[in-house]
Structure 1
């Protein structure tokens, strides 16, 4: 009897966990509207200033979608697109995009900036107090899913630079982990931002 009760409790718990998670298959249908700007599967955005959505991390993607829907993260191009979506819809979208294959386009990287970008990404800048990006985003740029830190490897350089500048000037100040990134970005020069962005765009 005790085993039966334990089995029922475990089954209910697992069912609840599964219900709360994102469904990639359901997300695929809901992602059709996203393809116009981010490309099929979120892999090839129509503009370099738009992000690739593939493999960023499900937790990170969900947080960004909820912030955009609530208005905490302002993206004019996405105004109204998420309004009618439920919380489960956003989880499904996050799960779908996270499962898609990342396409690394090394042609976006400026070879002259790679060495400087690599040095900052892997070792930071001790003189100015910039920590190594790899500490949170993984040495290979894969991010940290449990912590909600996004994968950066293969992301469009123009988009990465745009976000670092937004953290630095305070226009992206209300989203998750914003205080950490704002502190880091405040110590980066324009040249360092460009170098790091170019380095991660070609990082596998």
Structure 2
């Protein structure tokens, strides 16, 4: 594992948070009317307006996440995914290394994490207008192919602000039990590789601006789905203060794995 510092680079970043919201549906229950007893006066006419009740339902609701699509798709094909990912390059870079820090790097990210995220955007569980438009026409196999393509790429090493490293490293590696903050590496690994089986994403070299924006969203209660693993980050981030978030984001950008480059150069 290697780590990069950015000397005297300012730690202040302009976080551009994506607005993520979970839609919910409203169910209405109606009790059947009892039949009138013989010789009893007819019940008074109801003044309720069913049309008004029906209009209270939200115009659009999120489709419950269905992971059955995973069982009907094959492992992603990186070659096929390259063509399918062409449109993604406008924001995320053709090789998954975005040049605009408001958009996450996808290079080296786990195939199924990318595919699962695309499916969540398409179903409405994760809400973002741009990603909804990009994912709507994709099949489950398209998502896996795109995920396989970006997973085959190497993330460019990031840099960390030296002034924030000590604080960020302590939280990442040790957490702060007294404040209910677990170590980030417990799920994401000491070098930020994540855990694909548990759907914990790779964090290696991710833009500090993007990480900071997402941690702020989680701190404010944003949830990315109904699964158990999607409930973890809001619970953790609610105990982080702004200084914690800035330090962690900078430290994560400085994480990178040198053996990725070595493996790529091996015959």
The equivalent residue for 1:35 is 89
Aligned partners of 2:223, 2:79: CA distance in 1, in Å? Answer: 31
Aligned partners of 1:96, 1:42: CA distance in 2, in Å? Answer: 9
SS at match of 1:77: helix
The equivalent residue for 1:66 is 119
Q: Deviations over 1:19-41 (max 9, x none)?
A: 62111111000010001111111
Q: What is the Cα deviation at residue 178 of structure 1? A: 2.2
How many aligned residue pairs are there?
A: 185
- Native 8 Å contact 1:68 1:75 kept in 2: yes
- Native 8 Å contact 1:73 1:175 kept in 2: no
Determine if the alignment matches structure 1 residue 147 to structure 2 residue 198.
Answer: yes
- Native 8 Å contact 1:27 1:94 kept in 2: yes
2:213 alignment partner, one of 156, 159, 162: 162
1:136 alignment partner, one of 187, 199, 207: 187
Q: Deviations over 1:115-149 (max 9, x none)?
A: 10000000001210100000000011111111111
Aligned partners of 1:94, 1:140: CA distance in 2, in Å? Answer: 21
- Native 8 Å contact 1:64 1:175 kept in 2: no
The equivalent residue for 1:6 is none
Aligned partners of 1:52, 1:131: CA distance in 2, in Å? Answer: 25
Aligned partners of 1:27, 1:143: CA distance in 2, in Å? Answer: 22
Q: Which runs of 4+ in 1 moved over 4 A?
A: none
Aligned partners of 1:198, 1:40: CA distance in 2, in Å? Answer: 24
Aligned partners of 2:106, 2:240: CA distance in 1, in Å? Answer: 25
Give the greater-gyration-radius structure (CA).
2
Q: What is the Cα deviation at residue 156 of structure 1? A: 0.2
**Greater helix percent: which structure?**
1
Aligned partners of 2:204, 2:222: CA distance in 1, in Å? Answer: 23
Q: Deviations over 1:89-128 (max 9, x none)?
A: 001011111111111121xx22111110000000001210
Aligned partners of 1:171, 1:29: CA distance in 2, in Å? Answer: 32
Q: Deviations over 1:16-62 (max 9, x none)?
A: x996211111100001000111111111x242111000112112111
Aligned partners of 2:153, 2:90: CA distance in 1, in Å? Answer: 17
The equivalent residue for 1:192 is 244
In structure 2, the gaps of 5 or more residues are 1-70, 257-267
Q: Over aligned residue pairs, what C-alpha RMSD do you find?
A: 1.7
The equivalent residue for 1:25 is 79
Determine if the alignment matches structure 1 residue 120 to structure 2 residue 171.
Answer: yes
TM-score normalised over the length of structure 2: 0.66
In structure 1, the gaps of 5 or more residues are 1-16
The equivalent residue for 1:4 is none
Q: What is the Cα deviation at residue 175 of structure 1? A: 5.9
